[in-house]
Every structure is written in structure tokens, then in C-alpha cells.
Amino acid sequence: MAEQQDAARPVEEQRTMHRAMALSRAIETHCIESSPHWYPSIGEEAVLIGTWSRLRPEDFAVPHYRGALVISWLRGRSVKDVLGTFTQRKSSPTKGRLYGAFAGGIEHKVMPYITMVLGPNLAVAGGIALAYRQQGTGGIVVASTGDGTAGTGDFHESLNIAAALRLPVVFVCQNNQVSISTSTRKMLAGESIADWAARYGMPSERIDGNDVLAVADAVDAAAARARAGEGPSFVEALTWRRTGHFGGDPAVYRDQTEAEAWAQRDPIARIEEVLVARGADTAALAQVHADAAAEVAAAAAQLAEEEPLTAADLGVEEVYAHGR
């Protein structure tokens, strides 16, 4: 049945999704190599691309911090602009003042991660959705979060008010099954995070988060409900973080047998299997990865030629007043 459904889809969309996933991995690989403190999303590409690739221009994206760079690219930023926020260059859209995953871009309807605390972005998403409904823009809001954040008050308060007010918002849980170094199974009570969301009276489901087409379809259906005035929905996309919490984290706390099993379900390999079944050439698919890596490397090289930021560039004088 799944193969029949895949064959009925426009192959061009599948190729576009594959390219976006390859670019996401190339960006994240570059960030890890550049900084051991980067929080990578390698292995979670299907959730990222599936969640955000079908949004309309009027829709607002409120992403989780992990994997946020490719979302800005999907919404219209160049690779150089995306990397410029990571490398903190003056030419970047934030003029180097806001770090990578937290940068966002209001002009492209991507909400910056407003605080280092996890969870408040969900309340912000609800506020944007309320404003959209009052303004009659026709747009919706899609917000994502990690599984660890599901145990916070912000998560439950945001879902409750969204359901109570029937807001046009879709919540997506990017469940990579570990919160920093603790297994989600050990830290969250209940059958699933989707089960929690369902208790607030919104349509909720858990899906295969390593199947980009399944993610896109689930978010699409939830978006359609939001556009029709039927209120919020919740999608829990089960995936796997292939790295440690940050680039320099050896992740010794992960079960290696489980990690190897999930490696066999790599989301990019999954979409490539679909494309090969539809006649794609394996050499051409490999070239997509090479082109993505080259595009990232070229952007990084351009940024490396720029002058480093100074205190004046960071606007210290705009923040602090000097006494007389």
C-alpha cells in the first residue's frame, strides 16, 4: 500500500524533499565540524523537511532550536545567509548578533527562538495564531518542539489554551527519544506524547518521523483542519538523534544496539529508496549530496573572508549607558 501511495505522488516533490534533506545534513555536518558546541539534527531530517516544506507564504513557522537552520532556507534565505547567522558575520540577516539556530527571520515568517529556555516558543505560536485569526489573514502557524519540552508547564499550558480557543496552529513534536542524555521513556509518564495532547481535545497522532512523506502528509492534514477553523492538531514524529546532544558529546549513554537499528532506518536513505524505485539513478542521488556539500563549503568560504565582528558591530553602545 505504501509503495502504491509513493508511486502516485509527484516525483518532483520527492526530489525536492531529498535535496532539502541532503542540504540540511550538509549544513549540520559543517556546523559540527566548525563547533563542538553545535546542537545537530543529523538523523532528524525527515521531520524537519516534512514539517515545513508545504507551508504557504502566509503561514508562520515557529521551530524548535534543533535543525532550525534549514527551515530559514526553506522559507527563502540563501545558504550564505543561513550560515552567516551561525558564524556570526556582519553580513548575516542578524548582523551577527544572534546565534544560528536562534536567529529565525520575521521577514520570512520564521520566529526566532526567543529564549534559551525550552517551551515558550509554543506559547508564542499560540499568540501568533490568535492574531492571525483576529486579522483574518488566512494563515496558520506550525510550531515544533522536542520530546523533553513535553514535560514542561509551557507545553501543557500552550496546548490547553490553543484547544480552548480553537486556534489555527499545528504542534509537531520532534521526538528524537532522548532529552539531553536521558531516555524519553524514563522521564515522561504515559503511553506517548500524542496521547497527552489528545487529552486536550485536539486530533493527535504518533507517526514514523523518519518517513518524510508520512510527516508531510500528517502536517498537511493538520494544516487543513486549522485552515478550516477546526482548531489545533498535534503530530508526534518519532525519530532518532544520530549524534550526542551537542557536537562534542560522545553520547555514551545511548544503547548501541538501538542506535544501529535506527541507523538502518536513516531518513535520507528511506527517500532515496523511494526515488530509486521510481527510476532515479543512484549516481545522480549521490551527486545531490556532493552538490549540497559544495554549496555549503562555498558559502562558508565567502563568510570566512569577511572581517570578524567588533564590539561596535555587536551594538554594545546601544544596550549599555555609560555613566558620566
User: What are the tens digits of pLDDT across the range 140-191?
Assistant: 999 999 999 999 999 999 999 999 999 999 999 999 998 888 888 888 888 8
Q: Quick one: CA dihedral 53, 49, 118, 162, positive or negative?
A: positive
Closest to 130 measured CA to CA, from 54, 61, 236, 231: 231
Q: Is the pLDDT of residue 213 over 80?
A: yes
Percent of the chain with pLDDT over 90: 71
The neighbouring-strand residues paired with 187 are none
The x, y and z cell numbers of residue 47, run together, are: 521531520
CATH number of 19-246+279-305: 3.40.50.970
Q: Is the pLDDT of residue 46 over 60?
A: yes
pLDDT for res 54: 95
b/e for 161-194, b at 16 or more Cβ within 10 A?
bbbeebbbbbbbbbbbbbbeeeebeeebeeebbb
The x, y and z cell numbers of residue 280, run together, are: 532515479
Average pLDDT over residues 188-201: 92
CA distance 82 to 177: 27
Cβ(295)–Cβ(79) below 8 Å: yes
The x, y and z cell numbers of residue 238, run together, are: 518519532
Cβ(215)–Cβ(47) below 8 Å: yes
Phi-psi region of 190 (alpha: psi -120 to 50; beta: other; left: phi over 0): left
Closest to 65 measured CA to CA, from 33, 30, 88, 99: 99
CA distance 205 to 201: 12
Q: Is the pLDDT of residue 58 over 70?
A: yes
Cα 295 from chain centroid?
20
pLDDT for res 1: 47
Q: Is the pLDDT of residue 318 over 60?
A: yes
Beta-strand pair 178-179/182-183? antiparallel
In the chain, the amino acid numbered 183 is S
The Cα angle at residue 323 between residues 322 and 324, in degrees rounded to 5: 120
Cβ(72)–Cβ(105) below 8 Å: yes
Q: Is the pLDDT of residue 307 over 60?
A: yes
Q: Is the pLDDT of residue 266 over 90?
A: yes
Percent of the chain with pLDDT over 70: 94
pLDDT for res 106: 83
SS3 string, 98-110, reads CCHHHCCEHHHCE
Q: Is the pLDDT of residue 274 over 80?
A: yes
CB 109: neighbour CB atoms within 10 A?
A: 20
Mean per-residue pLDDT over the chain, rounded: 91
Q: Is the pLDDT of residue 123 over 90?
A: yes
CA distance 150 to 129: 20
CA distance 223 to 227: 6
Query: Look-up: residue for cell 495532547?
Result: 197
pLDDT in tens, 253-265: 988 898 899 999 9
The x, y and z cell numbers of residue 187, run together, are: 522521564
pLDDT in tens, 77-115: 999 989 988 888 888 877 777 766 677 788 899 988 777
CA distance 75 to 61: 9
Cβ(143)–Cβ(122) below 8 Å: yes
Cβ(176)–Cβ(254) below 8 Å: no
CA distance 84 to 251: 28
Q: Is the pLDDT of residue 237 over 80?
A: yes
